[in-house]
Amino acid sequence: MKKATVGAVVVGSAAAVAVAALIVRHRMRKSNKKGRAMSILKEFEEKCATPDAKLKQVADAMTVEMHAGLASEGGSKLKMLISYVNNLPTGDEGGVFYALDLGGTNFRVLRVQLGRKDGGIIHQEFAEASIPPNLMVGSSEALFDYIAAELAKFVAEEEEKFHPPPGRQRELGFTFSFPIMQTSINSGTLIRWTKGFSIDDTVGKDVVAELTKAMQRQGIAMRVSALVNDTVGTLAGGRFSNKDVSIAVILGTGTNAAYVERAQAIPKWHGPLPKSGEMVINMEWGNFRSSHLPLTEYDHAMDTDSLNPGEQIFEKICSGMYLGEILRRVLLRMAVEAGIFGDEVPSKLKSSFILRTPEMSAMHHDTSSDLRVVGDKLKDILEISNTSLKTRRLVVELCNIVATRGARLAAAGVLGIVKKMGRDTPRETGPEKIVVAMDGGLYEHYTEYRKCLENTLVELLGAEMSTNIVFQHANDGSGIGAALLAASNSMYVEDKS
């Protein structure tokens, strides 16, 4: 009897030891996993670091590439496209002008009534339409006929007070957000379609001529006065309301910048110099790259997996299409190597681009004590429930690292433009205000990103110069800007070219 009791005690103590060992191993594993998650975080943070010295190197590299792109076609990763816009709106424009904004699968038709110096924009109205999928892969004639028919409908429904006086033609600004080789203020040939369009017989043709023929078929007497890129439109819209606007930046799904350059500083410009002495340059800065950019393994992997490997590197670390995807890739590694979401790796977390930047922004801005928004987003998008507060804090920290790097690099890009314009140091004539017209959903809605960008530029310029830089939100620049450029390049105003 005693022996049995002793045996039972021995067995019992062995079991207790085994359980204790399991608990210890589990805690060690848990501790190791937590340590692994923190080491992945720290490594990522270090590789994304953007100290001021590095940002100044990025800005200098941007300036160098701008010079190279202005010197010759193909001389730089920056295309530095000549927009042929040398007459920006002055605020003196009057009359009724139209705009057609074709940015992708949707397009908008606008009418803007301008009241000269004191009136500004008196009236504006727009209509939206979607391009049917079959027309995105059909013929050039069918696509432009559809667009012209929507334009005709818009004009037919307008009040009589908007009708042009006898002998005067309606004028239109055409925002066409696809790669074109511009040949004048109102002509340009399509290089290639993007955004799901594939219409072979438009490639190599003048898109203004195609639209004009379609308008004639619809019986609309309208002249295209300006063909513009959306960033150039944003600059024009900003300039109309503030004469000090000289730079425009779009930070949305993608990113781009335009600015006012001295015509004499464009070696590849071979035409007669415009009387204004100025030319708006569409930089296409999303394609900027430099050895100074703080790229991580996640960026390289995302680039390799993209539709355009090796291209648009700056855009891939700064713009809205990609920030959420970078976050997802870091979280996936943490899930695999550190089990931050449990023993199983959530299957949804393996889906590329499932985590969009608006969701990342919502998590980054979560101020609730239990980070409830973070928990809800992880559950709704990635089907990850019951996350710990520590894990949610980790997610917010990652959001901050990704957004901070993007915003600070965008600020360095703006500094590069300011340097190229020779406006980064005090002038003898006194301070000269630099107003940057900003547009795009990322800038408009991601508050932490916007604040970081603006604060960084102030930091980089220094106390004396930073008081002269102002950011101005130019909403809907691409549409209204096109109408304004139609006005400033109207055939009815005195030739200023």
Residues annotated as catalytic are 177, 192, 230
Rounded CA Rg of the chain:
28
| Alpha carbons 86 and 105: distance in angstroms, whole number | 30
- Of 175, 286, 188, the closest CA to residue 237 belongs to 175
**374, 462 contact by CB (below 8 A):** no
**Cβ-based neighbours of 116, under 8 Å, separated by 6 or more:** 91, 92, 93, 94
351-389: burial string, b at 16+ Cβ within 10 Å, e else:
eeeebbbebbbbbbebeeeebebbbbbbeebbebeebee
- Of 147, 150, 105, the closest CA to residue 127 belongs to 150
Q: Is the C-alpha dihedral spanning 239, 187, 282, 193 positive or negative?
A: positive
**355, 325 contact by CB (below 8 A):** yes
- Of 59, 71, 13, 20, the closest CA to residue 424 belongs to 59
**Cβ-based neighbours of 335, under 8 Å, separated by 6 or more:** 341, 345, 346, 349
DSSP code, position 254: S
| Alpha carbons 265 and 420: distance in angstroms, whole number | 10
Q: Read out DSSP for 206-243?
A: BHHHHHHHHHHHTT--EEEEEEE-HHHHHHHHHHHH-T
